[in-house]
Structure 1
């Protein structure tokens, strides 16, 4: 049951990241994406994928801590 709690936290974090990116694109504040000079589009996509994986792992870890 603890894993479901961790998965819920992780999914909430991922959804938050996606919503943040969509808001940034909508408000055209995503210009920082273009300012990441020296990185190819593929490297940027891999970096964001790794960020999401880390958030998932962190959410699973936090969700499995037994504080009782």
Structure 2
């Protein structure tokens, strides 16, 4: 329950910090249910999905 509370009140500071440090972030987007969005520091966004072996598959660039 604590994690859900933290997610509901997230201000995005941690994500911005990662992007500013040159690292990508991943998140869910309601526009792409069932998938994950990976965002790069340069603004590039990709729709990704993991396979059963733990590999990341880039489905398309958004």
Which one has more relative contact order, counting CA pairs under 8 Å at least 6 apart? 1
Normalized per residue, the structure richer in helix is 1
Same fold judged by TM-score > 0.5? no
Larger radius of gyration: 1
Normalized per residue, the structure richer in strand is 2
The TM-score normalised by the length of structure 1 is 0.28
